[in-house]
Amino acid sequence: MKHLLFALPLLATACGSPAPAPAPTATADSTAADTNSLILPGETHFKSLKQLTFGGDNAEAYWSFNGQRITFQVTNPAWGDTCDQIRWFNPFTDDLKSGAPTKISVLKGRTTCSYFLPGDSLILFASTHLAGPQCPPVPERKPGGKYTWPLYDSFDIFVSDLQGNVRRQLTTTKGYDAEATVSPKGDRIVFTSVRDGDLELYTMNIDGSDVKRVTNTLGYDGGAFFSPDGTKLLWRASRPKTPEEVKEYKDLLKQGLVQPTQMELFIANADGSDMKQITSLGKANWAPYWHPNGNKVIFASNHLSERGFPFSLYMINTDGSGLERLTTSDTFDAFPVFSADGKYLVFSSNRNNGGTRDTNLFLAEWKD
């Protein structure tokens, strides 16, 4: 779940997080070829913008180490994916209008949070398939009820080759293990686990050994990424403070649920020391990712929203200064991820979806 916070059916778990689905918005034809027509007024950091997917819920897109492939999470009945699944493709050469990209999660279940390992021949992801091929249900949202994410206790972290053959199981503890990403140095993995009774961050070696706990504060810690030099971690977290908030958090956790509507961004050394909160914006600030220079962070936020959406992309310095709004859509922009060289940004958006609730992947040429 790293990662989906409040908007998409797909975002029932996430390395980023989802958000409550916004109302459909009439927009341009989703087959439009003009890459500049997708850039909205005020989106000055985009030199060009290309739509990569054309239907369903597509999110959690992460680059290979060589910058030539993307792995992502998708629910798209047209591809036979009725429950979050993992696929990969080349965003520069593959045309996903002509067919589905290669599927990794061939054992079914629900999957989330995929990430390339060094060498780009293996991908890790979390999956519930050991509990059966069925799709575990999304919690019913009652009228007037609060938005929650499910923490499936059958989620474990696996490594697969690019054809879907599982090579290793990295976690075996009881309960939720997911939201795994890999250090640019290629030596460690960071992930979220409930193994010690709370949703905390842990790191481990690439082979699953030497597990170390990173965070120790009550609340949901998740969606973590290593800095470009591998020395620091960036993540989103909730921090219940009042007795009422603490009780609500603990009660939901006992039910395998978490409420992701109040989250801020944190940075610490890779061992958890020198932890600092870098946003205090209110509402949901999530899906953070490092700018390749290591001095800035890009993320999604609805802190200016009155209704829970839109979600827009923002940039902020790692000391919490210099907040800048990057996208101006009136619906949903989230899950921003830079290529290692900083030339491209991939993100998910409801723009240009023909008035549907589709969330697609977009590729921007970036300019600072």
What average pLDDT does the structure give for the chain?
Answer: 91
pLDDT band with cut points at 50, 70 and 90 for residue 34: low
3-state class (DSSP) for residue 365: strand
Nearest CA-CA partner of 359 in 25, 102, 45, 13: 25
Distance CA 123, CA 136 (A): 22
Among the listed ranges 15-19, 182-186, 341-345, which one has the minimum average pLDDT value? 15-19
Q: Where exactly are the structural domains of the chain?
A: 3-366
Q: What is the DSSP letter of 245?
A: H
What gap in Å lies between CA 18 and CA 24, rounded to an integer? 16
Per-residue pLDDT tens for 196-224?
Answer: 999 999 999 999 999 999 999 999 999 99
**Residue 226 to residues 23, 31, 191: CA-CA distances in angstroms?**
34, 35, 11
Q: What is the pLDDT of residue 32?
A: 42
Average pLDDT over residues 180-189: 98
C-alpha 41/C-alpha 30 separation (Å) is: 19
Name the band, by pLDDT with cuts 50, 70 and 90, for residue 138: confident
Percent of the chain past pLDDT 70, that is, above it, reads: 90
Taking Cα atoms as reference points, which of 354, 352, 360, 343 lies closest to residue 48? 343
Least confident of 136-140, 323-327, 364-368: 136-140
36-89 per-position pLDDT tens digit:
789 999 999 999 999 999 999 999 999 999 999 999 999 999 999 999 999 999
Backbone angles phi, psi at 192, to 5 degrees: -110, 140
Q: What are the tens digits of pLDDT across the range 125-135?
A: 999 999 999 99
Question: Which of 295, 293, 363 is closest to 335 using CA atoms?
Answer: 363
Distance between CA 279 and CA 285 in Å, rounded?
A: 8
Run of H or E including 334? strand 333-338
Least confident segment among 130-139, 192-201, 344-353:
130-139
What's residue 23's pLDDT? 34
Q: What is the mean pLDDT of residues 23-35?
A: 41
Q: Which residues make Cβ contacts (< 8 Å) with residue 176, sequence separation at least 6? A: 1, 151, 152, 153, 155, 192, 193, 194, 199, 256
CA–CA distance from 181 to each of 25, 104, 191 (Å)? Answer: 33, 17, 7
Task: Please state the rounded mean pLDDT for residues 101-120.
Answer: 97
**CB–CB of 345/368 below 8 Å?**
no
Name the 3-class secondary structure at 368: coil
The residue written with tokens 């996430």 in the block is: 14
* Max Cα–Cα distance, the chain, nearest Å: 54
More confident residue, 360 or 32: 360
- Rounded to the nearest 5°, which phi and psi values hold at 218? -60, 135
Nearest CA to 219 among 261, 189, 271, 278? 261
Cα–Cα distance, 19 to 149 (Å, whole number): 10
Residue 12 has pLDDT above 50, yes or no: no
pLDDT for residue 147 = 87
Average pLDDT over residues 308-315: 93
- Beta strands 360-366 and 344-349: pairing type? antiparallel
Give pairs for 130-135: CB < 8 Å, separation 24+: 130/154, 130/156, 133/107, 133/108, 133/109, 134/108, 134/109, 135/82, 135/83, 135/108, 135/109, 135/110
Is residue 143's pLDDT more than 50? Answer: yes
Please indicate whether residue 75 or residue 308 has the higher confidence score (pLDDT): 75
Please tell me the predicted confidence (pLDDT) of residue 142: 67
Domain 3-366 has CATH 2.120.10.30: yes
- As a whole number, mean pLDDT of residues 229-234 equals 98
pLDDT band at 25 (very low <50, low <70, confident <90, very high): very low
